[in-house]
């Protein structure tokens, strides 16, 4: 995929595949994600393509799992499927984007997110039988209140 990124932003959140940590640059926490934004921001991640004996290009699905405020002091949990995936522009890495929608930005506050890649067994009689799954540790972004 091709995305135009502002020149003054740290472009990527790099995932350390060994520690499973999503490294967020200081500028990420200063970025403007505002309540009710809809597809206004895309968070770009990179991760090593090869992790132990798995080529992540062979996994069938990637999701950003998130927990966001529900407006009543609780939280809402969901997972957004990643559909912006670039397997070629950075050697030995996968670059992918999470476009933040208005479900994530519905209420202001802290949003925790993590990434998961998994491979299912299409030949299993059990629906969606998982053969491989790797998760990251959570990171946080803030949705700022709108007027």
Token representation of residue 28: 């990420």
Over the stretch 85-108, which tens digit does the pLDDT of each residue have?
A: 988 889 999 999 999 999 999 999
Check: CB of residue 103 under 8 Å from CB of residue 78: yes
Mean pLDDT of the 76-85 span: 93
pLDDT at residue 122 in the model? 77
Helix (H, G, I), strand (E, B) or coil at 18: coil
Q: How far is CA 94 from the centre of its chain?
A: 12
Token representation of residue 139: 């990171």
Q: How many CA atoms lie within 13 A of 9 on its CB side?
A: 16
The structure's pTM equals 0.88
Q: Is the pLDDT of residue 112 over 60?
A: yes
Helix (H, G, I), strand (E, B) or coil at 26: helix
């Amino acid at each position: 995929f091709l995305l135009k990124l502002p020149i003054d932003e740290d472009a990527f959140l790099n995932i350390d595949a060994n520690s499973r940590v999503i490294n967020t640059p200081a500028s990420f926490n200063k970025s403007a994600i505002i309540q009710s934004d809809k597809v206004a921001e895309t968070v770009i991640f990179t991760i090593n393509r090869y992790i132990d004996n798995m080529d992540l290009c062979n996994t069938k699905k990637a999701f950003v799992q998130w927990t966001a405020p529900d407006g009543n002091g609780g939280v809402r949990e969901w997972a957004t499927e990643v559909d912006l995936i670039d397997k070629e522009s950075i050697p030995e890495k996968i670059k992918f984007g999470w476009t933040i929608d208005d479900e994530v930005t519905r209420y202001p506050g802290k949003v925790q997110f993590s990434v998961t890649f998994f491979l299912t067994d299409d030949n299993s009689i059990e629906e969606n039988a998982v053969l491989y799954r790797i998760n990251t540790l959570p990171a946080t972004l803030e949705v700022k209140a709108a007027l």
